[in-house]
Structure 1
């Protein structure tokens, strides 16, 4: 396996947009989907894909998938893995990536979820040349990787500061 680690940063700009940046160290061997232009798509997680899960005070949560192809998906789940429906976004995400000899950087800008005091999970499905896959997250539940598990939602996105 060539991937050595993944770092992710999340910042909020003055226009209520989030900027997410995943840096994959050892990312030169990634298997990347072909460019297909911005738009919704299904099953992005079957190859290299970067994800964010957002949960408020109830059991409902939203899953975001971002592909290096510039395709994306957003789904709402009222409960754990049940009742999936498309989540509407006020603006589509803006997706970009850069690849060097030793790293791969995926950058996503998207509207900030409007709820307050959110718990989030940040994760990635990594496919390397030859079909080797690995599953990366801030935390994993015991057993098999499951990005939907509440144990993965360990980061906080506090309410925005308004001036």
Structure 2
């Protein structure tokens, strides 16, 4: 279980957040995701809204996962909010052909905030995801007091944050081992 360090985009530095890391694991039926935020004192947390799809989650604190098969341009984007709202989109190529992805079972998530760190955990049914192997990208939009937003990813290219950039897909998630 490898932990991956996310970095903020240079054009949008955080106020108090010191670091963000993420990891991906699987237990056979669920893909489990964890983001750790160090320095959450000024973090704005969306209020509880209950499970369900919602658009525009990235406009405040939100966690994102991108998956694509090796040698493919199509990919999946998953948005997960501390409010428990979520959404999943399929793209046919870079920011092209966006369509809502069916999710027969809703993802689950929990958010815990302490003085020194916050943890966002999510579980996504593997049955709703494309078959592995994948190249994956983990990212986060963190809103802090005063409307300050920082954009965290495994890699950044260009003058503006762009989580869809193929350069962000740096985690290799292998196919499951045969029993």
Query: Where on the TM-score scale, by shorter chain, does this alignment land: which range?
Result: over 0.9
Aligned partner of 2:151 in structure 1 is: 135
Using the TM superposition, name which of 53-62 and 110-119 deviates more.
110-119
Aligned to 1:22: 35
Q: 1:67 aligns with which of 66, 70, 81?
A: 81
Offset of 1:132 from its aligned partner?
A: 0.6
Partner SS state of residue 72, structure 2: coil
Tell me if the contact between 1:28 and 1:104 (Cα under 8 Å) persists in the aligned partners: no
CA-to-aligned-CA distance 1:86-131 (integer Å, 9 cap, x gap): 0112311001110001111100000223322210100000000111
2:110 aligned with 1:96: yes
| Matching residue of 1:43 | 56
Q: CA deviation at 1:41?
A: 0.2
- 1:74 Cα deviation after fit: 0.2
TM-score normalised per structure 2? 0.87
**Does 1:108 pair with 2:161?**
no
Q: Which runs of 5+ in 2 are unaligned?
A: 1-14
Provide closer, same or farther for how the CA distance between residues 114 and 77 of structure 1 changes in structure 2, counting only shifts above 3 A.
Answer: closer
**CA distance in 1 between partners of 2:23 and 2:138 (Å):** 10
- How many angstroms does 1:83 deviate by? 1.4
The partner residue of 2:72 within 45, 55, 58 is 58
- Report deviation, 1:140: 1.0
Structure 2 residue 38 is matched with structure 1 residue 8: no
1:125 and 2:138 aligned: no
Indicate the residue corresponding to 2:6 in structure 1.
Answer: none
Aligned equivalents of 1:132 and 1:59: distance in 2?
32
State the alpha-carbon separation in 1 of the partners of residues 41 and 169 from structure 2.
Answer: 29
Write the deviation string for residues 51-71 of structure 1: whole angstroms up to 9, x where unpaired: 000011321000000000000
1:7 and 1:108 map into 2 onto residues whose CA distance is: 14
Give the TM-score normalised by the residue count of structure 1.
0.95
Structure 1 runs of 4+ off > 4 angstroms?
none
